[in-house]
Amino acid sequence: MTAAPGTRPPHVLVAEDEMLAALALRSMLERRGYRVTLARDGVEALAAHGADPADVLVTDLKMPRLDGRQLVHALRRERGDLPVVVMTGFLSWTGEMDLQGTGPGPFRLMSKPLEPAALLQVLEGMVGRG
């Protein structure tokens, strides 16, 4: 799926400290017409979002310096409606509720390893492409 002529493709900010996983996500998303920025942790993601605001955040939960939970809270304080996908294998129900309460924007928790088709379906629904 590509962006319509004259429109800008949706910008996905991917915060993932495992570089091979991040590169695979970027490749898959770019093939589907998304514009992708990679960040190795929450600190880089905040800087990237400040320079070029994302339309949707896809973040790992466990990262160095600033983890996914802290990143979601920081970005949603600025923009409560930012769509967020959290990918992890380590989240309890209590933690999920904490993240869902960060703002009115769409939120989705996905288990690792991610199923590419499922992630694309979620993103396309979040940015109005599905």
Instruction: Convert the pLDDT of each residue in 82-92 to its tens digit.
Output: 999 999 877 55
Q: Which residues of the chain have pLDDT under 50?
A: 1, 93
Q: Which CATH superfamily is domain 11-122 in?
A: Response regulator (3.40.50.2300)
What is the value of pTM for the model shown?
0.89
Per-residue pLDDT, 91: 57
Whether the CB-CB separation of 89 and 111 falls below 8 Å is answered with yes
Q: Tell me the three state secondary structure of residue 91.
A: coil
**H/E stretch holding 93:** helix 93-100
Residues in the chain: 130
